Amino acid sequence: NDVSLLRLCSLPCPLFYWCYQSQFRCDHTCTGKCQDKPLTFRCSGGAQSPVNIVTRSVQRDEHLIPFKLTGYEKKLHGHLINNGHTIQMDLPSSLKIERGNLTVPYKALQFHLHWGKNGGPGSEHTIDGEQFPMEMHVVHIKEEYDCLSQAAKDGTGVAVLGFFFQVLLSEYLKFDPLIDALKNITYPTNRTTLRGVSLDMFLPSRDNLTKYFRYDGSLTTPNCSEGILPFYHNVTCLLSLLQLASFSQLRFSDGNHMVNTYRPVQPLNGRQVYYSRGHAVLISTVLLFMSTLLSSALSLHTQPL
Ligand SMILES: *[C@@H]1O[C@H](CO)[C@@H](O)[C@H](O)[C@H]1NC(C)=O
Ligand SMILES: [Zn+2]
């Protein structure tokens, strides 16, 4: 009854290794005295992420007021790493989100990305079945906690802001520092210093942070803890196809191209997806716009890597 389709494999114990469906080699077996140690990753609960958001079924929630973002405009200076599953950057805890029906401020922990192959479909969440080329997760935890595993034990300890990416027909120059940095972190455990990128740069406009979806979900990687509060924005960040494709040059630990780093959508199991005030207009206009861009993007990247 594993709905996760993330295959869990054990590498040299007690470390564990898991992989995305796209990684066909996941046949490591545990040896030695750790063999009997059970894997404790629960990736098959009833409130798992990601999900497909059906816009016809979302419900408006008056409590979903605009977020207050603190420090998102700050130029970051820190390590960008290839962690074997994605690229990730730790964020200073001076970055915070408040409001948006969160009862207390949450401090930022890290951001990471999920993507497809050469700019093809790669987001984790889908909207009316549409998969976007990339999705960014900005992970926040309650200020009282030090790390994700601690916060994940609290039913409301983690809040994730998710952003979809869309293909832009020209280069989005603001992202060059990030795209350039990818060359230095081709292999897992590689790290590089990233300067001059702020989280704000990813977002087309602050105004759009008033318009978002919300539902109760989970982490999308082991251990898939539930009780996470993802807030999915319906706004999209923009990158050119070339820029998106450069993520496919990164490598997994098995040496293969790091592509399709997303978990498939999981059953809603009766969960309600809510949307914030003033969302309705955006849904129709933005989605139409997105479908057009997606189909042109898909026809462009039919060449293999
Ligand atoms: C990246 O990792 C690979 C494999 O571990 C290693 O051979 C290489 O030297 C690393 N590169 C840098 C820039 O650290
Ligand atoms: Zn994620």
- 102 and 134 in a single domain? The answer is yes
Cα-Cα-Cα-Cα dihedral of 203, 209, 215, 218, to 10°? 40
Active-site position among 28, 63, 77, 85: 85
- 176 and 256 in a single domain? The answer is yes
Residue with CA nearest ligand 1 atom 4: 187
Q: What is the pLDDT of residue 80?
A: 94
- 147 and 22 in a single domain? The answer is no
How much of the chain is in helix, strand and coil states, percent to nearest 5? Answer: 20, 30, 50
Ligand 2 center–CA 135 separation, angstroms: 8
- 30 and 171 in a single domain? The answer is no
CB within 8 A of 276, min separation 6: which ones? 60, 61, 64, 65, 66, 100, 210, 211, 212, 213, 214
Ligand 1 nearest atom to the CA of residue 186, by list position: 1
- 114 and 209 in a single domain? The answer is yes
The residues lining ligand 1, judged by C-beta closer than 6 Å to any ligand atom, are 184, 187, 189-190
- 258 and 161 in a single domain? The answer is yes
- 8 and 129 in a single domain? The answer is no
Ligand approaching nearest to the C-alpha of 193: 1
Contact 168, 296 (CB under 8 A): no
Q: Round to whole Å and give the CA distance between 276 and 282.
A: 11
Q: What is the pLDDT of residue 155?
A: 82
- 134 and 279 in a single domain? The answer is yes
For 157, what's the count of Cα atoms within 13 Å in the CB-facing half-sphere? Answer: 16
Residues whose beta carbons lie less than 5 angstroms from ion ligand 2: 137
The CATH number covering residue 240 comes to 3.10.200.10
Residues in the chain: 305
- 149 and 294 in a single domain? The answer is yes
Give me the number of domains the chain comprises: 2
- 186 and 212 in a single domain? The answer is yes
Residue with CA nearest ligand 1 atom 14: 190
Contact 201, 175 (CB under 8 A): yes
- 34 and 174 in a single domain? The answer is no
**257 part of the active site:** no
Q: What residues make up the domain containing 31?
A: 1-44
- 60 and 8 in a single domain? The answer is no
Contact 22, 248 (CB under 8 A): no
Q: Tens-of-pLDDT digits for all 305 residues of the chain?
A: 333 334 444 443 334 456 676 664 444 443 333 333 333 344 678 888 999 999 999 999 998 888 888 999 999 888 999 988 899 999 999 999 998 888 999 999 999 999 999 999 999 999 999 999 999 999 999 999 988 888 888 888 999 999 898 888 776 677 888 999 999 999 999 999 998 888 888 776 666 578 889 999 988 887 778 877 777 777 678 889 999 999 999 998 878 899 999 988 989 999 999 988 765 444 433 333 333 333 333 333 322 22
Q: What is the pLDDT of residue 176?
A: 85
Ligand 1 center–CA 191 separation, angstroms: 9
